[in-house]
């Protein structure tokens, strides 16, 4: 099976639209959290995630919007939470509340979390990826949260961060996503059925996002940082 992997959309509809257009044919879409927050299109992004039937886990911004208002967030992040709470309807809020902190997909071969298998709020950068993150029977661990795209292959499997759709922080402003392919058995692939990962970046209309941030009365820095990928 082939899976499209996304994370950290953060209410950035132009970036999400570009990723959806660039995504090759996949059997299922997986989202490692933070559909909302920061950018001005939280409702439209939730609608698109639901339309695509993406298997989704709850990110820290999803939780902040749904539950606690992001009281420990900085001013910029808190402004995005406040905007989302003002825009989202009851059904959207209920969907955010219903999201689990982890999902097992493909008979447990893919384990999806937001931050780390042991802690959904832990920032896990590529240098911290380890084989110990892969549980029994898990071929691929998918996580987000850092907005840094990378993957590491170990004997036990792969740890993957597809990067951020809506707010990259790895110095590349292009929207990020990945594709994971799982072999059905040892005979069906040249690599012996082992999972494979392709990471992708795609250009999108950043100026549209910047203008919408300012029009919504959100902090200007939410938009301008998109141009630097930080």
pLDDT of residue 190: 53
Q: What is the average per-residue pLDDT within 114-119?
A: 97
| Mean of the per-residue pLDDT values of the chain | 95
Q: What average pLDDT does this structure show over 81-96? A: 97
Residue for token pair 């539950």: 67
Q: Would you say residue 89 has pLDDT above 60?
A: yes
pLDDT in tens, 142-199: 999 999 999 999 999 999 999 999 999 999 999 999 999 998 754 444 555 789 999 9
Please, are residues 62 and 40 in contact by the beta-carbon 8 Å criterion? no
Which one is predicted more confidently, 193 or 133?
Answer: 133
Give the three-class secondary structure for 108. Answer: coil
Give start and end residues of each alpha helix (H) in the chain.
13-22, 42-52, 60-63, 75-87, 90-98, 206-215, 220-228
Report the pLDDT value the prediction gives residue 227, as an integer from 0 to 100. Answer: 94
Q: Is the dihedral of CA 85, 91, 92, 93 positive or negative?
A: positive
Q: Domain total for the chain? A: 1
Mean pLDDT, to the nearest integer, of 112-122? 96
Strands (E), the chain: 2-6, 28-31, 55-56, 102-105, 110-113, 140-142, 150-154, 157-161, 175-181, 196-202
Residue 103 CB coordination number (10 Å): 19
- What average pLDDT score do residues 53-59 get? 98
Structural domain for 31, as ranges:
2-228
Q: Report the distance separating Cα 15 and Cα 141, nearest Å.
A: 24
Band of residue 132 on the pLDDT scale cut at 50, 70, 90: very high
| Backbone region of residue 130 per phi and psi (left: phi > 0; alpha: psi in -120 to 50; beta: other values) | beta
- Cβ atoms of 172 and 150 closer than 8 Å: no
Phi-psi sector, 163: left (phi>0), alpha (psi -120 to 50), beta: left
State the pTM of this model.
Answer: 0.95
User: What number is the average pLDDT over the span 199-212?
Assistant: 97
For residue 110, the domain's CATH number is: 3.60.21.10
Q: Are 19 and 175 in contact (CB under 8 A)?
A: yes
């Amino acid at each position: 099976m082939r899976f499209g992997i996304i994370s950290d959309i953060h209410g950035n509809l132009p970036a999400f639209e570009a990723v959806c257009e660039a995504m090759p044919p996949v059997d299922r879409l997986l989202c490692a959290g933070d559909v909302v927050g920061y950018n001005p299109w939280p409702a439209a992004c939730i609608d698109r995630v639901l339309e695509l039937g993406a298997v989704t886990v709850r990110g820290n911004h999803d939780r902040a919007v749904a539950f606690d208002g992001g009281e420990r967030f900085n001013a910029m992040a808190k402004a995005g939470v406040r905007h989302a709470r003002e825009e989202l309807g009851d059904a959207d809020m209920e969907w955010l509340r219903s999201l689990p902190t982890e999902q097992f997909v493909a008979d447990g071969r893919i384990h999806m979390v937001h931050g780390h298998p042991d802690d959904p709020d832990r920032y896990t950068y590529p240098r911290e990826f380890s084989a110990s993150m892969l549980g029994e029977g898990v071929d691929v661990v998918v996580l987000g949260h850092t907005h840094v795209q990378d993957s590491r292959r170990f004997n036990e499997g792969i740890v993957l961060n597809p990067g951020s759709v809506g707010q990259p922080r790895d110095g590349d402003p292009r929207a990020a996503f990945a594709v994971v392919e799982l072999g059905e058995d040892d005979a069906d692939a040249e690599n012996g059925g082992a999972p494979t990962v392709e990471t992708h970046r795609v250009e999108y209309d950043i100026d549209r996002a910047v203008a919408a941030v300012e029009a919504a009365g959100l902090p200007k820095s939410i938009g301008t940082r998109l141009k630097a990928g930080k």
